[in-house]
């Protein structure tokens, strides 16, 4: 997921390798967001991983996860299948990306608004700011939703422009229709080299820090950026979810 998917809170597909300094010279927030939205996976893929959750009381849970990427001519989708020990708690999220359109979300199983026997109802916008499989990841986190908000501002005077020893552009994404259950602003640090999200802060309706997202481990393999670990921390509940991927790298 790096490039487009590692940008926000989506996960694990390999994306087309970008040229050196993908964001070099860009000084407009709208242009940066458009460049990031334009990235897409390089190929179909299926990757296994683990969701490791520690809730605010210290209870720990591990969920197996399979992430499948399927490309189309003018669209692509990523399917997240979480398989807890209790089959009734299983959840499937499909994030559908189409050119020049905001992502669409289809949730089945645990947490879905309709029974699994009925076709899933598409969720959009703030309706997608609900947890996936009882983790700290919201559906909107896994779909780069904040990049589609109408107001995107570069922060030229940001005090911090390096994250994880990586030079970054700092972007503020503002949600004009924020509800009291969603984000009103996301500040993200985006790597100038490859357009991958390194770090992000999401603020609630009262402008208080709600979540912190960070990439823990990214590697460039055979011309592709590959995400191996990412985590999201809820500052208000003191819960943390780590997403670890089982990526086996073959020698060229």
15/76 Cα distance (integer angstroms): 12
For the record, the structure tokens of 132 come out as 């996936």
pLDDT above 90 coverage of the chain, percent:
48
Least confident among 47-51, 63-67, 107-111, 238-242: 107-111
**Rounded to 5 degrees, what angle do the CA atoms 215, 29, 71 make?**
60
For the record, the structure tokens of 116 come out as 């699994």
pTM of the full predicted structure? 0.84
- State yes or no: pLDDT of 6 exceeds 60: no
15 - beta bridge partners? Answer: 41, 225
Structural domains for the chain: 4-245 (2.50.20.10)
Average per-residue pLDDT in the chain? 82
217/227 Cα distance (integer angstroms): 6
81/48 Cα distance (integer angstroms): 10
- State yes or no: pLDDT of 233 exceeds 80: yes
């Amino acid at each position: 997921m790096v490039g487009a998917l590692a940008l926000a809170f989506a996960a694990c597909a390999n994306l087309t390798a970008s040229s050196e300094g993908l964001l070099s010279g860009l000084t407009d927030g709208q242009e940066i967001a458009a460049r990031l939205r334009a990235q897409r996976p390089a190929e179909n893929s299926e990757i296994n991983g683990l969701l490791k959750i520690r809730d605010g009381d210290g209870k720990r849970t591990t969920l197996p996860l399979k992430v499948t990427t399927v490309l189309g001519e003018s669209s692509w989708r990523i399917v997240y299948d979480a398989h807890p020990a209790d089959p009734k708690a299983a959840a499937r999220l499909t994030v559908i990306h189409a050119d020049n359109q905001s992502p669409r979300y289809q949730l089945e199983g645990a947490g879905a608004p309709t029974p699994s026997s009925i076709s899933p109802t598409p969720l959009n916008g703030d309706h997608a700011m609900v947890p996936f499989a009882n983790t700290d990841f919201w559906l909107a986190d896994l779909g780069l939703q904040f990049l589609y908000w109408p107001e995107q501002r570069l922060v030229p005077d940001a005090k911090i422009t390096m994250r994880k020893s990586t030079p970054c552009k700092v972007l503020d994404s503002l949600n004009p229709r924020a509800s009291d259950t969603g984000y009103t602003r996301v500040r993200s640090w985006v790597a100038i080299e490859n357009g991958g999200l390194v770090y992000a802060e999401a603020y609630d309706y009262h402008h208080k820090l709600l979540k912190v997202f960070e990439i823990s481990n990214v590697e460039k393999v055979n011309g592709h950026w590959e995400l191996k670990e990412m985590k999201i921390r809820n500052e208000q509940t003191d819960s943390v979810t780590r997403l670890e991927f089982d990526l086996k790298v073959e020698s060229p």
